[in-house]
Structure 1
Amino acid sequence: MILDDFLSFDADGLYCGYGDFYLDPKQPVAKAVITHAHADHAVSGNTSVYATAATVAFMQLRYGKNAGKVIYTATYNAPFEIGEVQITFIPAGHMPGSAQVLMEYKDTRYLYTGDYKLQPDSTCEPMQFVKADVLITESTFAEPNTAHPDPVEEIKKLNDIKVNILLGAYSLGKSQRLIRMINEYAPQKKVLVHHRIMPINAIYEKLGFALGKHQMYGRKLMKTQEEWVYIVPPFTFDSYLRATGVKRLFASGWKNLQVNAQDTLFISDHADWADILHTIEQTQPKQVWTLHGEGKHLRDHFKNDIFVKLLN
């Protein structure tokens, strides 16, 4: 039987009262099940943290001793229990260590996706589908007119830009994916990386995800036109608003983050509308619960076929 109150929101985030734990809490809590290490899903200061080893490694890099007082790591597809709820981490395809959280309670399966993507990505584990009675899906891009383009064709656009490129990207996840893709599909480019990104790259390499050739940024290097691509985090990208002698690009699935109409770079680490529908098809849920975005389009799409509940 599906329990309507299996998950609920309170001031600290998404709470499972039947196991007494939070999923990606917004504030530090006693028991936190963390899907991945991005800051909007993994806060510091939790007492007990349940996550994959890769997620823990990134959290420890960013938070040090505040990553969690007690840390429980679990591999993919290896069930464990919190209270009376059995939990299994399933690959989510978002970044290394990212996990969907399969929760089983009294013979009912609830699957919380966290952030996920279906597009191929050689810098993380691929998305894995499992069956569930309730799919709790992110709906960041759950809008029928949203379709992410082929990321390979997007990165190949860099081949036509013959000046140095200042490329904005999130430090964890997106930057590493870009480094790998540039090495594969724009190999004549030379990749420079902001110093804050380099320690994250080292964890990727340790996890077995080879990124390809890149080096630390040097000011003298960018003064020469040798088809450099300098990857920087958002705060640095914004500080170079008036940079001359470079083409400014920002890699994102969001249209409002593209900095010029002529040269866009639509590369997203989230599922688009078609991918969400495909995930629902593969999961075969009796109900779909949405969060982290707009769920009304899914409710309108399925009408009476599948019950869709908007959690936020």
Structure 2
Amino acid sequence: MLHILSDFLVRKPEGYYCQYGDFYIDALLPVSVDVVSHGHGDHARPGHTTIYCTAVTAAIMRYRYSQQPQSSYRTIDFQHTFQIGPVQLTFIPAGHILGSAQILMEYKGVRYLYTGDYKLQEDETCEPIEIIQADVLITECTFADPEVIHPDPIDEIKKLNDQPFNILLGTYSLGKAQRLTDLINKHCPDRRVLVHHGILPLHRIYDDMGLKKLTYEQYNRREMKVGEPNKVYMVPPMTFNSYIRATKVVRAFASGWKRLQQHNDLSLFISDHVDWNDILFFIKEVKPQEVWTLHGDGRILKQYFDGQLTVRDIY
């Protein structure tokens, strides 16, 4: 009979804490030992004494947090089990962005699986998700709502082919921008991708450490004003918002959030998170005895599985 520890992972001000191994996961404040699922800033922060992560996540953090001592990183390959105290950990590809990992923690015969952010949709710019079985699934709930069903990203990106002007494309700099570049390269071959200087270094990390080369150019103001109207200028959110009065361009922002599609010329629902159907499929495949929720609202999921499966928020 498995004995699931209800306090194996708990919420603290610093982040999610495992007292049985004395480490944190995705801590937002400096801690002694942090295990980082991926390189996005709401999961990967500086100031920790020791950081366990994949090599790509370390490269992203080194770029973003230059003051973090190089000696603090402990890079671990996918599927390679390592030990923190009595807890065994293994990084499993999460399919979210390049280098993103689910974190499998094994303690006294019980398997606890922390997903981090994850997606099931195909994305050739990052490692595809691997689904394993666990006794406790600790899942994000960003879009855990039956009203959120993500469309086919290929159908969405092909909308760019029908536009008569250059496109100002708002996107998150890490992961989404590189995925969009690849989708445009493949499905909008007549479009040239111009990349904002704030996104460019992350494209180069993908080029150096990723699964395929991307085709893009550094942004040049003159290029946007001359020649054929076949450019896609990819910019981070703050820049996108500052160009509210831009003329002779089609404004679009790639996101799974409906609120970010408002006031744009074109909707582009492309998300790097699981939607409702994906979460249900994932739970079915992982076969957990309990589901613990975080990073979003897990109440609808709890109602859906009422009487069938224990679903609760991380305390």
The reply to whether TM is greater than 0.5 is yes
Tell me if 1:194 matches 2:196: yes
Contact 2:120-2:278 within 8 A present in 1 as well? yes
Select between 199-208 and 162-171 the one with higher mean Cα deviation.
199-208
Q: Which residue matches 2:98?
A: 96
Q: How far did 1:198 drift?
A: 1.3
Q: Trace 1:99-114 onto structure 2 (pairs within 5 A).
A: 99-114=101-116
Letter in 1 for 2:86: E
Say what the alpha-carbon RMSD is for the aligned residues. Answer: 1.2
Per the TM alignment, residue 208 of structure 1 is displaced from its structure 2 partner at its CA by 3.5
Q: Could you tell me which residue of structure 2 aligns to residue 2 of structure 1? A: 4
Match of 1:257 among 256, 260, 282: 260
Partner deviation per Cα, 1:170-220 (whole Å, 9 max, x = no partner): 111010001110010001001100012111111111113324321011111
**Mapped contact 1:35–1:114 kept (Cα < 8 A):** yes
Alignment check: 8 A CA contact 1:250 1:259 kept: no
Q: CA–CA distance in 1 between the matches of 2:162 and 2:115?
A: 37
1:86 corresponds to: 88
Answer yes or no: is 1:276 the counterpart of 2:276.
Answer: no
Query: Does 1:306 find its partner at 2:309?
Result: yes
For the Cα contact (< 8 Å) 2:253–2:260, is it kept in 1? yes
Partner of 1:164: 166
Contact 1:249 1:260 in 2 (8 A): no
Residues 104-161 of structure 1: CA distance to partner in whole angstroms, max 9, x if unpaired? 0000000000000000000000010011000000000000111000000000000000
Q: How does 1:213-252 map to 2 (within 5 A)?
A: 213-224=215-226, 225-252=228-255
2:267 aligned counterpart, secondary structure: coil
Distance in structure 2 (CA, Å) of the matches to 1:226 and 1:309: 51
The range that moved more, 216-225 or 275-284, is: 216-225
Deviation at 1:66, TM superposition (A): 1.4
Match of 2:125, SS?
coil
* Residues 103 and 115, structure 2, Cα contact 8 Å, conserved in 1: yes
Structure 2 gaps, min length 5? none
Q: Trace 1:33-48 onto structure 2 (pairs within 5 A).
A: 33-48=35-50
Identity of aligned residues (%): 54
User: Aligned letter for 1:250?
Assistant: F
- Counterpart secondary structure, 2:167: strand
Deviates more, 1:6-15 or 1:85-94: 6-15
* Structure 1 residue 53 displacement after superposition: 0.4
Distance 1:67 1:139 in 2: 33
C-alpha distance after superposition, 1:210-256 (max 9, x if no partner): 24321011111111243110000111111111111111100000000
**CA–CA distance in structure 2, aligned partners of residues 11 and 177 of structure 1:** 33
Q: Which moved more, 1:62-71 or 1:248-257?
A: 62-71
Unaligned runs of 5+ in 1: none
Distance 1:67 1:310, change over 3 A: farther
In 2, Cα distance between the equivalents of 1:213 and 1:2?
48
Q: For 1:35 and 1:165, how far apart are their aligned partners in 2? A: 33
Q: Runs of 4 or more off by more than 3 Å in structure 1?
A: 259-262
Quote the residue 2:141 is aligned against.
139
Contact (CA 8 Å) 1:47, 1:69: kept in 2 or not? no
The answer to whether the 8 Å contact 1:48/1:68 transfers is no
Structure 1 residue 67: Cα displacement: 6.2
Q: CA deviation at 1:69?
A: 4.8
- Secondary structure, in 3 states, of the residue corresponding to 2:106? strand
Do the aligned residues in 1 keep the contact of 2:170 with 2:235 (CA within 8 Å)? yes
Q: CA deviation at 1:68?
A: 6.2
Deviation sequence 1:62-116 (CA, Å, 0-9, x none):
1113166521111111100000100000000000110000000000000000000
TM-score (norm 2): 0.97
| 8 Å CA contact retained: 2:99, 2:127 | yes
TM norm structure 1: 0.98
Deviations 1:242-293 (A, max 9, x none): 1111111000000001143651000000000000011101100000000000
- Shift of the alpha carbon at 1:13? 1.3
> Aligned equivalents of 1:50 and 1:173: distance in 2?
20
Helix, strand or coil: the match of 1:188? Answer: coil
